[in-house]
Amino acid sequence: MIFYIVFSSLYLFITSIYHLESLYYLFIHLLLYSFYINKKNFFRLFFFTYGVFILATPILVEEISRDLGLKLAYSNFHYLPETLLYISLYLSILVIFVVIFSSYFSKKNSVIENLNISINKYYFNPILITIIAFFMVVVSYMWLFSIGYLSYIEDRPSSPFITLALALSSLSITLILCLGYMLKNTMKYKNILYLLYVIIILATIFFGFQTGSRMALIFPFMAIIYNHQNYFKKRAWIFILASPLALFTFVAVGLTRNLTYGVDLQLLYSYIMQDSSFLDIGVHVAIDRFNFLRAINEVFKTYSGNFIIYTDYLQNIYGMVPRLIWPDKPVMGVDLNYIGIEMGVSMPTDTKTSYGLHYIGESFYQLRWFGLIIPFLQSVILAKIDSIRENISVVTHVISFQLTIYVVMVGSLLTFIPELTMLLIPIVLLSAALNNQSNE
């Protein structure tokens, strides 16, 4: 990895005319990589990998693409020095305080490591719990499809029942994680568990296709890789061979999810690949779909000239109050469609596209340079996740993955605490019900 960092940085310093961007690229890699090697766990590995991919890699891909004459959605794009400085400061504060707080949390006993649910010391049958949970997942998906919630319609209905159904439908990933851990750590019901494991994985992928959500398709594969880390570490060639199919699927789902009619697969392939190669598609995904560095830069270009401070982070407080108690509770979040239009990245006639700012860009949009307070507060929760010993029990195995994916990939922190609470409750209950091993 050090060789890659040094070689790619040297390439940028030699070929790029933007030396400040090259220096930023090197700094982000060294900062996040040193954070990872200081304590090699899943949280830090994913934080390093994803952070570098969305906040630094676009600079390298853009430069290589220009040198090779590949297609770019834009040309000669330049990142502002203020943008690069703000991101560097934000991540530095976040990393430093995660290390400090994590060291503190690691010295404390965690009640969650051996959390289980039993009645008079009698544990639930894992097969029965798995079947019941999977049944609730299927029923929830079917109901959400029947009311049109998972279709890409302009106005989605909202009710406590929909919130509950969404929470239950998300349990499919938790089941994949639980069964993956149980298959490696128990000898009972192994054949039945394998069968349920395969069925739930296939069903989750199917529902992902049906929803048209690319992330819903990605998550089950990420859970499988997490369950079998040792296997995939020794077989990197699998990712290389699967990458063309993954890129094609990623683009195809984005093109077809709004269609109300069927599409011939061969015609779809011809349409996507016309005047393009898989390399072009990979460049598009890296510097367009996952280029949050550009999104943050757009925030600075638009809003750095004024000093308006917003109070939307307070949604984390009053967002904890259920609508059953407070029916007139304000709508959570901000209008990302309007912000995209205001920044000039979306057309004024486009009323459906939400432009993600990333939580770093959001912090500047909300508080300007005072937004650097946010990583200090954010680091407390991230440090708690970092302190989890991920393979102590089925509960920690599940929570380590679920919370890592959520906190690293989350796009907004405006409703971070309410959403984190809603995520935790069902997965903790299910994994605790399946945790019938004593780890003392």
Residue 258 has pLDDT above 60, yes or no: no
Digit-coded pLDDT (tens) for 26-40: 999 999 999 999 998
pTM, to two decimals = 0.85
Distances in whole angstroms, Cα of residue 135 to Cα of each of 90, 371, 378, 415: 43, 44, 36, 30
Check residue 109 and give its pLDDT. 73
Check residue 256 and give its pLDDT. 65
Check residue 220 and give its pLDDT. 92
Give the DSSP letter string of 152-168.
--SS----HHHHHHHHH
Digit-coded pLDDT (tens) for 323-370: 677 777 777 777 777 787 878 777 776 666 677 889 999 999 999 999
Rounded Cα gap, residues 225 and 405, in angstroms: 13
Q: What rounded mean pLDDT belongs to the chain?
A: 83
48-52, 332-336, 379-383: least confidently modelled range: 332-336
Rounded Cα gap, residues 214 and 389, in angstroms: 30
Residue 175 has pLDDT above 90, yes or no: yes
Check residue 277 and give its pLDDT. 66
Q: Which residue has the higher pLDDT, 271 or 150?
A: 150
**Phi and psi at residue 128, in whole multiples of 5°?**
-65, -45
Mean pLDDT of 291-306: 89
Band (73; pLDDT cuts 50, 70, 90): low
Residue 151 has pLDDT above 80, yes or no: no
Check residue 392 and give its pLDDT. 83
Q: Terminal CA-to-CA distance of the chain, rounded, Å?
A: 37
Residue type, 399: I
Distances in whole angstroms, Cα of residue 53 to Cα of each of 46, 294, 335: 10, 12, 26
Digit-coded pLDDT (tens) for 204-245: 999 888 887 778 888 999 999 999 988 888 888 888 888 877
Check residue 42 and give its pLDDT. 92
Q: Which residue has the higher pLDDT, 393 or 112?
A: 393
Q: Which residue has the higher pLDDT, 207 or 265?
A: 207
Check residue 157 and give its pLDDT. 62
Rounded Cα gap, residues 168 and 91, in angstroms: 34
Cα–chain-centroid distance for residue 88?
21
Residue 76 has pLDDT above 60, yes or no: no
Check residue 237 and give its pLDDT. 81
